[in-house]
Amino acid sequence: MQKEEIEGKICELLKTRSQFNGDNIQLNCDLRDNYGIDSIALVELLIEIECEFDITVDSNLLTYECFSTGAAISDYVFKKLAV
């Protein structure tokens, strides 16, 4: 899967999870500050991403710090799919 395609899907998923600014998802913005996605919503989002891309997020990386932007999530998914 191309990186752009992954980013597009991540943006769509972020849009549905965002509390605000959902119409203007920027991949490099902090999810909590810009879209109101807290640590609970982030875990829910990552579960959705696991289903969407048929991957499993490494438990050791399951922190807000590792996935604080759409870009960080997209990069992770891209690397996972490339393995």
Partner 1 sequence: MGEKIIQNVPRFYEPHVSDCFHNALSAQLLNQGLNPNIILADYLSFLYDNETGFMGVNYLYKYNTSVEFTEEEMNTSFELVFFPVPEPFNREEKYKLSKDRLVVKMYLENDSDHAYKRLKELIDQNIPAVVAVDLFYMQYHKAYKKEHGLHYVVITGYNEEEGWYELFDKYRLSGSDFDGRLPIDEVRLARASDNPQNNVLMGEFTRPLQNVWSEVEIHNEFTIEKDSIIAVLEESCKRMGSQKRVLGYQCGFDAMDALLYDLENKKSEQLDERNLYLFKTYYNETFKTIARSRKRFKVFINEINVLFELQSEIANLLEESSRHWDICANLSLKLGITKKLLLLEDIINQLKEIKQIEINAVELMNKLSRG
x/- track of binding to partner 1 for residues 26-45 (CB under 8 A): ------------xxx-xxx-
Residue 69 has phi, psi (to 5 degrees) of -135, 160
Binder of partner 1 out of 3, 12, 47, 79 (CB under 8 A): 47
- Taking a C-beta distance cutoff of 8 angstroms, is the pair 29, 35 a contact? yes
Closest to partner 1 by CB, 12 vs 58, is: 58
CB of 5 to partner 1, least distance (A): 25
- Exposure class string for 27-58: b at 16+ Cβ within 10 A, else e: eebebeebbebeeebbeebbeebeeebebebe
Residues at the contact surface with partner 1, assessed by CB under 8 A: 38-40, 42-44, 46-47, 59-60, 62-65
